[in-house]
Structure 1
Amino acid sequence: MKISAVIPAYNSATFIRAAIESIQAQTSKVDEIIVVDDGSTDNTEQVLKTFAHTVIYHKQANQGPSAARNKGIELASGDWIAFLDADDQWTVDKTTKQIQALQTNPELHLIAGDMTEIDNDDQLLTQSVLAKHKMLDYFQQLAGKPVPNALAALVKKNFIPTGTVLVKRQTLLEAGMFNTEIRYGEDLELWAKIATFHAVTCLPDILMLRRQHGNNATQASEGMLIDLTKVTESIRNFASSQLTAQGISPNSLVAEAQWTLGYWYFSGGNNAKAREAFKKSLSQDFTLTNLLYLIFSILPASLINALRIIKQKFAKS
């Protein structure tokens, strides 16, 4: 078993040293560290020169983190790939715990884990992201065994943080690696492809410290929600029968993503785009909620505002 660690980097001079050192400090050593510099304009390259004899460095024009990760996968000589973003850190026994899980469950193709969130000053923000999302107990009970109906679980809530992943390189290649056409949710699409055909798990152990700051804080945005509709459509295309077998309606999955996008537009007062999204949602899955919101998006803005005021008054009473 040979492990290659892949780090995509973009203007990462501040934190990348700590990221690399957290990999080098592993109790079970990785075999190579690959940093793909995705067109940095700061002194990331100068920082990495101090690791010249221990890190494989590749610089390319800026293409985004997916393209950088894909290049790292291509350059890797390991049969297993681990990922880490340049501003995050692994816990010291991350790879040891994953190797142990693989030895116990050799059918696994992907092993992820829990993570802690910290700020730019290394102060604790969230001890356990799994606990935050009320999933820790479930994965503790699972104890590293393959997740049952993993595809259905993933589309309900992505439980695979990219920076904790250890995955077979051949499995990544067969899945097509990261989709560079999608900026948000490309990781979910890839993990869903893998979970459709292979055993995956998530360990209830903290394997990574994820740095939460303005550049990576998860906030709903138009681009993110549009990409979510693309991801759900893609998953429906390659895993429709598997979703159905695991109790998930493929069309409802797409409809929900379109409704969420429509509601975001509607809440922001963009009724024209909201109508288009609600229509698409309704065409995939006819529900009373979809129909009502489509009707609301057609109403005059003055009437919508009056209804909102009435709703707020009832909510306070």
Structure 2
Amino acid sequence: MSTPRISVVIPAFNAAGYIAQALESVAAQDMADLEVIVVDDGSSDGTAKVVAEGFPWVTLLRKANGGAGSARNLGVAHARGGHVAFLDADDVWLPGKLQAQWSCLQGEPHCRFCCTAFEHWFPEGGETEVSQPGTGEMVLDPERSGWVYHLLLLDCFVWTSTVLVERRLLEQVGGFDESLRLGQDYDLWLRISREVPIHFLATPFAHYRHHSRSATARGAQANYGARVLEDAVRRWGVCSPDGRCADPQAVRRRIAGLHFAQGYGHEAAGRRLWAWREYLACLRYQPGRGKAWLHLLSTALPRSVRQRLGEVLPR
């Protein structure tokens, strides 16, 4: 059996309604020597059946539910290609994606990680058409390419479904942190950005599907986003390996914002203690954030008062 050039790894959890479209977008790539691995992460909706019956050329792995990070790690462990491309089961690629990225890997010196721009897609809101990329050319975005750790602290512009990465690099940095149910991809891109330059193609080559059943929409009680950022800053500070740095106050404001948003979500769900903790964490990073003080105080009030305040408190 010949060694594939690229292994495509697709984690899937209850994605029976989406996985076919994702796999069709892979099949549409003008790229030979592909290996496609779908990891069914404990689905209960027939996802594995859709893959097995409709796409016999796909390698299907099954495991108990453990999160997207563990599913991707399993897929990478079974991958035979020298490079790995990730695609979430509810997203789609656009034609020419892999070829453009492969050209980047071959044409740019020391390129071991390439990602692309993407477009947000809202099919539940009636946006059914998937647009096509404006060009299949390899156009590097100079603002988001190079040593970009300091930029990623302020904006995670690397999206998992656009990543093509050397498999040895994944092994070098240790893969996805399976203790993170959300944000495990952000954590990995930060670690990789400490090791190699990032190459970012400016052309959108994928569509990020927004829907009510996604892991992002469901959220989590733990604040994984803040945890990832806080761990990165403790470990490496705010400067990239080439010496360029993020504004420390801007980083603190971003972490504060993540804590505030998480606190607001807990407050809306009636988890007062969780909300109180998140608002306190927000204020440790940004003591002058007046909205956080107001919401912190509201969590200590009786329910009837909180309900009335909830109509007027700023979000």
> Counterpart in 2 of 1:179?
177
Q: Give the whole-Å Cα distance in 2 for the aligned partners of 1:51 and 1:203.
A: 32
Q: 1:234 to 1:29 in 2, by over 3 A?
A: farther
SS, match of residue 118 in structure 2: strand
RMSD after superposition: 3.6
Q: Say which SS state the counterpart of residue 114 (structure 1) adopts.
A: strand
Q: Which residue of 2 aligns with 1:65?
A: 68
Task: Output the TM-score relative to the length of structure 2.
Answer: 0.78
User: 1:159 aligns to what?
Assistant: 157
Match of 1:236 in 2: 233
| Distance change >3 Å, CA 10–CA 275, structure 1 → 2 | closer
Q: Give the secondary-structure state (helix, strand or coil) at the position aligned to 1:209.
A: strand
Whole-angstrom distance in 2 between the partners of 1:293 and 1:88: 35
> Residue 22 of structure 2 aligns with which residue?
19
Pairing partner for 2:37 from 34, 37, 54: 34
Letter in 2 for 1:83: F
Partner Cα separation in structure 2 for residue 94 and residue 187 of structure 1: 20
Equivalent position amino acid for 2:233 in 1: R
CA contact (8 A) 2:92 2:206 kept: yes
Deviation string 1:188-237 (CA, Å, 9 cap, x unpaired) is 1111111122111221212123332211284485536x112221222123
Q: Secondary structure at the match of 2:221?
A: helix
Q: Aligned-pair distance for 1:27?
A: 1.1
* Cα distance change of structure 1 residues 44 and 298 upon mapping to structure 2, 3 Å threshold: closer
1:134 aligns to what?
none
Task: Select which of 123, 133, 143 maps to 1:119.
Answer: 123
1:276 matched to 2:277? yes
The residue that corresponds to 1:289 in the other structure is: 289
Measure the CA separation in 2 of the matches of 1:25 and 1:6. 16
Deviations 1:169-201 (A, max 9, x none): 111122221122112211111111111221112
Change (3 A) 1:17 1:282: closer
1-structure distance, mates of 2:106, 2:143: 11
Unmatched tracts of structure 1, length 5 or more: 129-139, 313-317
Aligned ranges for residues 183-222 of structure 1 at < 5 Å? 183-216=181-214, 218-219=216-217, 221=219
Q: 2:93 matched to 1:90?
A: yes
In structure 2, the CA distance between the partners of 1:171 and 1:267, relative to structure 1 (3 Å rule), is: same
Once the two structures are aligned, what percentage of the paired residues are identical?
A: 27
Residues 11 and 72 of structure 2 are in contact (CA less than 8 Å); yes or no, is this contact kept in structure 1?
yes
SS in 1 for 2:32: coil
Superposition deviation, residue 88 in structure 1: 2.2
Q: Does the CA-based 8 Å contact 2:30-2:95 persist in structure 1? A: yes
Q: Which amino acid aligns with 1:287?
A: P
Deviation at 1:286, TM superposition (A): 5.8
Residue correspondence of structure 1 range 95-110 to structure 2 within 5 A: 95-110=98-113
**Which is helix-richer, 1 or 2?**
1
User: What is the CA-CA distance between 1:155 and the residue it aligns to?
Assistant: 2.1
